[in-house]
Structure 1
Amino acid sequence: MNTYKTADIARMFDIHVNTVRLYEKCRLIPQPERLSNGYRVFTDLHVEQFKLARAALQTEMLQNGLRKKAVDIIKTSAAGDYEKAAELTRHYIDQVEIEISNAEEAIQITHKLLSSMETEPNNKDFLLTRKDTAHYLHVTIDTLRNWELNGLFTVKRLKNGYRVYSADDLQRLKIIRSLRCANYSLSSILRMLNALSIDPGTNIREIINTPKQDDDIITACDKLLTSLQEAKENALFAAGQIEIMKRMAGTV
């Protein structure tokens, strides 16, 4: 195998030498051998492991433990247990595919709820308190308060100041709940709702997955469908890297 210095690895991946040392400290790569002068010696196996680690960490997916599972894959591979790493990667891909399915299903549910709001007559006499609404939707009062504070809906008030929720409010809240259960961010849901208020014919799937260019901070859940697909592609790449390293280590 070829051998490399710390600076060679840093240059190869366009990272700082301290980042290379951090990968070692965090056990994201195999422990490199050291020369008598203390210099680290990296091999082609380290190079392939770096490729795996950087791909697995590329997408910041936090929901349902996906980030931790990605780190577990990296550390297991770095420890040389390639069979276990391959198994963990398969489970990771399976979970990401479930997340993608949930995200797509939430969009379909949104379409159906919006359609029912357009076709079903509005019962103006139907009003629920915040407590009853939370119970009906199986969410907490704090969740409703959080959605309202983040501008996802505006609730009506009685003369005594008490909030009341209409049938249309419940449909809107069902949409929000469905999308939040699928891990869409509050900002992406608000972006979609605002777009629909301007143009009811807005492409929901496109708008909820496309952050505005002037957004200061964009998280993975602000472009959930794209991020999940990227996470799957990176995991498939990681699976390929594991097979490469298995062959290099002579375990197959």
Structure 2
Amino acid sequence: MEKYTSSELANLYQIHPNTIRLYERLGYITPSKRSANNYRVFTKLHVLQVKICRCIFGYPFTNKTIRNAGNEVMWASSKQDFRTGKQNAKQYIQIIEQELDIATKTTSLLYGWANEVKPKQFLAGGDYLSRKEVAAYFNTTVESVRNWERNRLIYSVREGEKGERLYSSSDFNRISIIYMLIQAGFSIASIQRSLVTYENGYKNEIITALNHPKYEELTSVGDRWIYELTRLKQAAKAIPSIFEELMTL
């Protein structure tokens, strides 16, 4: 059986040996055995487990739901429960696909917003969603939606039969753009400035209001979101076959 030191295993993936130790400490790979001189000893098992980790880490625009699903994949791998891990990997891919669908729709809205084209509505004209339903759609928390309200990013003047806040199609479109900008790393304050700028008719100054040097155009935010999620999806699709290889060890 081929054996590896921490440095040798790290070199396979061009990462630091401390990263291997971190994966072990967090339970993402099976604990290594020790040699007579107390050095960590890794095997082919760990090579494949780290390969799974590298398919999951290093991608921006991941929300908490995606990260949690990725953790479940790695923890199953670490426990050598490879069948469960393969199932978790398929669920992980589905969650990424859901986020990619949101990204695609929101980017379409963003192009309309930036170019003053009437956007396609996410919801049917007479449909309304509650805070809880909005949070569920974006895989976020009800408290996050409340926080957007408190910071005056979104408004809702309509209430349901139980007095709960309800959001219309236009509200939902606005929330979609807010969610995307938050995923891109913009602060609540900069998003608020941008929305106020847009509402006051200064479309050409939206990106200046965001005060983010990485993006020359507002639409490039959405393009990069889709690009990074597509990369993540491609990496994730390799994970089930890694579990199949693990089953043969």
CA contact (8 A) 2:77 2:85 kept: yes
Residue 18 (structure 1) shift = 2.7
Q: Over alpha carbons, which structure has the higher Rg?
A: 1
2:59 aligned counterpart, secondary structure: coil
The number of residues matched between the two structures is 197
User: Could you tell me which of 143, 148, 151 is aligned with 2:148?
Assistant: 143
CA contact (8 A) 1:180 1:186 kept: no
Return closer, same or farther for 1:178/1:18 CA change in 2, 3 Å cut-off. closer
User: Could you tell me which of 178, 197, 204 is aligned with 2:203?
Assistant: 197
Specify the code of the residue in structure 1 equivalent to 2:175.
Answer: R
Provide the residue aligned with 1:213 in structure 2. Answer: 214
Superposition map of 1:1-252 within 5 A: 1-109=1-109, 114-116=116-118, 143-144=148-149, 146=151, 175-180=173-178, 184-185=183-184, 187=186, 197-198=203-204, 212-213=213-214, 223-247=224-248, 249=249
Instruction: Provide the rounded CA distance (Å) in 2 between the counterparts of 1:242 and 1:44.
Output: 13
Instruction: Provide the rounded CA distance (Å) in 2 between the counterparts of 1:6 and 1:76.
Output: 22
Q: Tell me the TM-score normalised to structure 1 length.
A: 0.61
Query: Which has the larger displacement, 105-114 or 57-66?
Result: 105-114
Structure 2 stretches of 5 or more lacking a match?
A: 120-127, 132-144, 155-167, 206-211
Residue 9 (structure 1) shift = 1.6
Residue 173 (structure 1) shift = 5.8
1:70 aligned counterpart, secondary structure: helix
Specify the code of the residue in structure 2 equivalent to 1:100.
Answer: L
Instruction: Provide the rounded CA distance (Å) in 1 between the counterparts of 2:10 and 2:147.
Output: 47
Residue 45 (structure 1) shift = 1.9
Instruction: Provide the rounded CA distance (Å) in 2 between the counterparts of 1:184 and 1:80.
Output: 33
Residue 74 (structure 1) shift = 0.8
CA contact (8 A) 1:57 1:71 kept: no
Residue 144 (structure 1) shift = 4.5
Query: Which has the larger displacement, 71-80 or 60-69?
Result: 60-69
Return closer, same or farther for 1:244/1:147 CA change in 2, 3 Å cut-off. farther
Specify the code of the residue in structure 1 equivalent to 2:59.
Answer: T
1:98 aligned counterpart, secondary structure: helix
Specify the code of the residue in structure 1 equivalent to 2:178.
Answer: R
Query: Which has the larger displacement, 2-11 or 171-180?
Result: 171-180
Return closer, same or farther for 1:186/1:244 CA change in 2, 3 Å cut-off. closer
Residue 221 (structure 1) shift = 8.4
CA contact (8 A) 1:30 1:79 kept: yes
Return closer, same or farther for 1:239/1:172 CA change in 2, 3 Å cut-off. same
Return closer, same or farther for 1:2/1:85 CA change in 2, 3 Å cut-off. same
Return closer, same or farther for 1:23/1:221 CA change in 2, 3 Å cut-off. farther
CA contact (8 A) 1:74 1:85 kept: yes
CA contact (8 A) 1:110 1:175 kept: no
Return closer, same or farther for 1:46/1:105 CA change in 2, 3 Å cut-off. same
Instruction: Provide the rounded CA distance (Å) in 2 between the counterparts of 1:212 and 1:172.
Output: 29
Instruction: Provide the rounded CA distance (Å) in 1 between the counterparts of 2:53 and 2:39.
Output: 22
For residues 83-121 of structure 1, what are the alpha-carbon distances to aligned partners after superposition, in whole Å with 9 as ceiling and x for unaligned? Answer: 10010011111111111112222344556785449xxxx
Return closer, same or farther for 1:25/1:221 CA change in 2, 3 Å cut-off. farther
Specify the code of the residue in structure 2 equivalent to 1:34.
Answer: R
CA contact (8 A) 1:3 1:43 kept: yes
Provide the residue aligned with 2:134 in structure 1. Answer: none
Structure 1 stretches of 5 or more lacking a match?
A: 118-135, 153-169, 200-210
